Amino acid sequence: MTTDDTPDIALKNTIRQAALARRDALAPSWRADISARLAGVDGPAIALDPGAVVAGFHPIRSELDVRPLLARLADHGARICLPAIVDAHTILFRRWIPGAALVEMALGTVGPGDSAEALDPDVILMPLSAFDRHGGRIGYGGGFYDRAIAALRTRGLSPRLIGVAFDCQQADRVPTEPHDIALDEILTESGLRRLPY
């Protein structure tokens, strides 16, 4: 039994596992085609102001690979950064030149090393396990992005939050907790959509 103050963690885990199973079932070649398509021969799937700072991520498991999109955005003048796990609770966004070497981080991830410049992103492309049409997002359970975005907001910054996923990861409704930060938009193989829709 849950209350408004105590979300159903078991339901969240069930939704996460089901969405990830659907994502894992997608053919690797198809996932790669979608990743390339979002970079776009006629321009990237996301329009940005010149010089915008875009935080992406290095894909793990069967995530949509945003590296081709990040490279294309960099070609259009965006400055790119990736999350770097600096301790058990914190990520920072550090400058990354597409193709530059990355170092191993916690949780099986890689990111820019300590010498890379820390940047405040204007846009954050966020990996996720599941999402809903209302902007709800289920990550992997660590809360890194929620804390990082909350820290940016306490400094008066308000980055554009774009979830990145495949359509099959959409759920009817994801349970949320008070600290969960809603997405502004979702980018899938169907394109970029504002939330809610």
CATH architecture observed for domain 9-194: 3-Layer(aba) Sandwich (3.40)
Predicted local distance difference test score (pLDDT) of residue 171: 98
Per the CB < 8 A criterion, the answer to whether 126 and 63 are in contact is no
Summarize the annotated binding site as residue ranges.
12-16, 63, 137-145
Q: Among candidates 166, 192, 154, which has minimal Cα distance to 181?
A: 154
Helix axes 67-75, 28-39, angle to 10 degrees: 10
> Residue 180 above 60 pLDDT?
yes
Summarize the annotated binding site for ATP as residue ranges.
12-16, 137-145
Per the CB < 8 A criterion, the answer to whether 190 and 152 are in contact is no
Show the DSSP H helices in the chain as ranges: 9-24, 28-39, 67-75, 144-154
Per the CB < 8 A criterion, the answer to whether 186 and 163 are in contact is yes
What are the tokens at 9? 């963690």
Tell me if residue 18 falls in helix, strand or coil: helix
- The whole-number average pLDDT for the span 36-65 is 91
> Residue 174 above 60 pLDDT?
yes
Predicted local distance difference test score (pLDDT) of residue 2: 41
pLDDT, tens digit, 9 for 90 and up, residues 135-159: 999 999 899 999 999 999 999 999 9
- The model's pTM is 0.94
Provide the percentage of residues in the chain whose pLDDT is more than 90: 84
Per the CB < 8 A criterion, the answer to whether 2 and 8 are in contact is yes
What are the tokens at 109? 């991830």
> Residue 43 above 90 pLDDT?
no
Q: Among candidates 167, 176, 153, 155, which has minimal Cα distance to 197?
A: 167
Cα 12 from Cα 176, distance rounded (Å)? 8
pLDDT, tens digit, 9 for 90 and up, residues 6-33: 558 899 999 999 999 999 999 999 999 9
Summarize the annotated binding site for substrate as residue ranges.
63
Q: Among candidates 10, 47, 22, which has minimal Cα distance to 128?
A: 22
Predicted local distance difference test score (pLDDT) of residue 148: 97
> Residue 196 above 50 pLDDT?
yes
pLDDT, tens digit, 9 for 90 and up, residues 103-117: 999 888 999 999 999
CA distances from 60 to 41, 153, 155 (A): 25, 27, 30
Report residue 3's pLDDT band, with 50, 70 and 90 as the boundaries: very low
Secondary structure (H, E, C), 34-77: HHHHHHCCCCCCCCCCCCCEEECCCCCCCCCCCHHHHHHHHHCC
